[in-house]
Amino acid sequence: MDVLSDVVALMRTGRPTSVRVSWRGPWGKEFPSVPGSAGFQVVLRGSCWLIPRDGDPVPLSVGDVVFFPHGDGYGLADGPGTPLAAPTCNPYREFELFASTVEGGDGAETVTLCCGYQLDPTRIHPILGALPDVIHLPATLGHHPELRAAVELLAGEIDNPRPGADTVVTSLLEVLQLYILRAWFAQESGACRESGWAAALADPAIGRALDAIHRAPADRWTVESLGAHAGLSRAGFARRFTTLVGQPPLAYLTWWRLATAARILREAPDNSVAEVAQQVGYGSEFAFANAFKRQYGLPPGKYRRQACEEVLTAS
């Protein structure tokens, strides 16, 4: 898998939620801050205003996408001065996989698509942590056609659910999140950033090294072998990787190995701790257990039991 696909698969937990809302003027709604989540709003019809916690209101029009990678609170309204109704629910927890509802009065209609994911706070990838609180992707003609197509397909499935809709909606939500991230990083790399994840993903040499780490975390990677894979000298690779990614190559490798182990422990209960250690590149169960506990505060076995209890409680 490539880096962005890995990141999305690593962080998400549980089922996504989505709701198509038909807003009738006058209307204004406050969306609460939900730590440990990520969500986005898409304008399907009409226009509205984004009311951020900090900063000026932002006009939104048909096709605009707004992404909230850290679950920050915000408001949506039919005008920048419209009062915001207090939140009545947590949209990332209380909506179903897909739902439709009507809010507001009896005036002009605006339709939005609100989607959300729960994230595992112990496995937040640095890519997500480096994103701003709000990402606005305007519907500029000719830009991000794949993103627009995914939005239209998702809206159609929610408007008219048919057999297989659960699978289609879940898959489209994942695709939509990837397209949002791809569009943002393409925009940032186009701005010629000299550091950060946008620059790292756009850099051919560092991209090859990241791909190698993600594809084969259990390999006996060294700074020298990763540098050779990237086509750079050991020292030159270490400097460039650290500048762009924000941490040295072996520090990122260790983090990714342990994050991958945490996902396996949660999702593959039949794998023994020794097998998980081997899968992520540790020569002994003891060394793996020590490293895992330093990262997550729990030994691997207890982490797995706690994760299983959380799943049972949620169901």
DSSP 19-84: EEEEEESS-EEEE---TTEEEEEEEEES-EEEEESSS--EEE-TT-EEEETT---EEEESSTTPPP
pTM, two decimals, is 0.82
pLDDT tens sequence across 217-237: 999 999 999 999 999 999 999
Which of the pair, 124 or 273, is modelled with greater confidence? 273
Cα Dmax for the chain: 66
Instruction: For 296-306, write each residue's pLDDT tens digit.
Output: 999 999 999 88
Which amino acid, residue 195? S
| Mean pLDDT on 198-227 | 94
Does position 42 have pLDDT exceeding 60, yes or no? Answer: yes
pLDDT at 37: 85
Starting at the edge strand found earlier in the chain, the sheet holding 12-24 runs 99-104, 12-24, 109-119, 37-45, 65-68, 135-137
Residues 6+ apart with CB under 8 A from 62: 43, 44, 45, 46, 47, 139
Burial class for 42, CB neighbours closer than 10 Å (0-12, 13-18, 19+): buried
Residue 198 per-residue DSSP state = H
pLDDT tens figures, 157-184? 878 888 888 888 888 888 888 888 888 8
pLDDT of res. 219: 96
Mean pLDDT of 6-31: 85
Give me the mean pLDDT over the 110-126 stretch.
Answer: 83
**Rounded distance, CA 4 to CA 283, Å?**
28
- pLDDT at residue 1 in the model: 47
d(CA 152, CA 96): 19
- Chain mean pLDDT for the chain: 87
User: How many percent of the chain have pLDDT more than 70?
Assistant: 92
Distance CA 22, CA 67 (A): 20
Domains of the chain: 3-190 (2.60.120.280), 203-314 (1.10.10.60)
Q: Which of 113, 143, 122, 56 is nearest to 297 (CA)?
A: 122
